[in-house]
């Protein structure tokens, strides 16, 4: 079972209207991420709960009902002190975490969370553009069935510093970004 949350405040991306309070509030057709994750869960045999209500993350006992917590389109300081403590205890106790779309732009002033993401922070991104994704690690179940390379359109993020102590599953081939990683001509970055 997954618990999916996003920031109730200012939106980083237009992923549908704000949600009501509590757990599993009514979704609109334009709540694209929630609807996609619910559909994926139904097709693959797992349940999904969703919320923008930070009180739903306030106790480790509540979080331990889930196999993973997913942040998507979160931004800025999304968690209060109780939710931060709860998330830290949940992860330390073996709970899973996934960040989708702007997880690196969240909780800038919380060193533990930055460490969870490999010590990296969001720096900037260029315009949405087509690029080629390259699978780097096939030993993970999330990448095992993917093609070696595929094209995808996104706003490709630049992180500072590069994440460390993480297992990289896929990267973007920066030479395939016509406008470069920052919306300028392509550049080379030393690791």
Q: Which residues contact 15 (CB under 8 A, 6 or more apart)?
A: 6, 30, 31, 32, 33, 72, 73, 101
> What's the pTM value of the predicted model, to 2 decimals?
0.77
Is residue 116 within 8 A of residue 150, CB to CB? The reply is no
CA angle (104, 3, 151) in 5-degree steps: 50
As to burial, measured by CB atoms within 10 angstroms (0-12 exposed, 13-18 middle, 19+ buried), residue 13 is middle
Q: Which residues contact 61 (CB under 8 A, 6 or more apart)?
A: none
pLDDT in tens, the chain (191 residues): 555 555 544 445 566 677 778 777 878 788 888 888 899 899 999 999 988 888 888 889 999 999 998 887 776 777 889 999 999 999 999 999 888 777 787 888 889 988 888 888 888 887 888 999 999 998 988 889 999 999 999 888 888 888 888 888 888 898 998 877 665 543 333 33
């Amino acid at each position: 079972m997954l618990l999916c949350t996003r920031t109730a405040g200012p939106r980083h991306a237009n992923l549908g209207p704000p949600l009501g309070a509590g757990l599993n509030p009514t979704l609109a057709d334009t709540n694209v991420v929630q609807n996609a994750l619910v559909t994926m869960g139904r097709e693959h045999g797992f349940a999904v709960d969703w919320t923008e209500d930070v009180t739903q993350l306030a106790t480790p006992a509540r979080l331990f009902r889930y196999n993973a917590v997913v942040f998507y389109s979160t931004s800025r300081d999304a968690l209060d002190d109780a939710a931060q403590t709860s998330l830290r205890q949940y992860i330390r106790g073996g709970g899973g975490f996934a960040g989708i779309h702007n997880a690196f732009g969240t909780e800038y002033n919380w060193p533990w969370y930055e460490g969870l993401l490999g010590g990296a922070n969001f720096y900037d991104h260029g315009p949405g553009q087509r690029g080629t994704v390259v699978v780097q690690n096939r030993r993970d179940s999330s990448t095992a069935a993917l093609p070696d390379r595929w094209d995808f359109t996104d706003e490709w993020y630049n992180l500072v510093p590069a994440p460390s102590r993480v297992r990289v599953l896929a990267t973007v081939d920066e030479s395939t970004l016509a406008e470069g990683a920052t919306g300028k001509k392509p550049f080379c970055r030393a690791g």
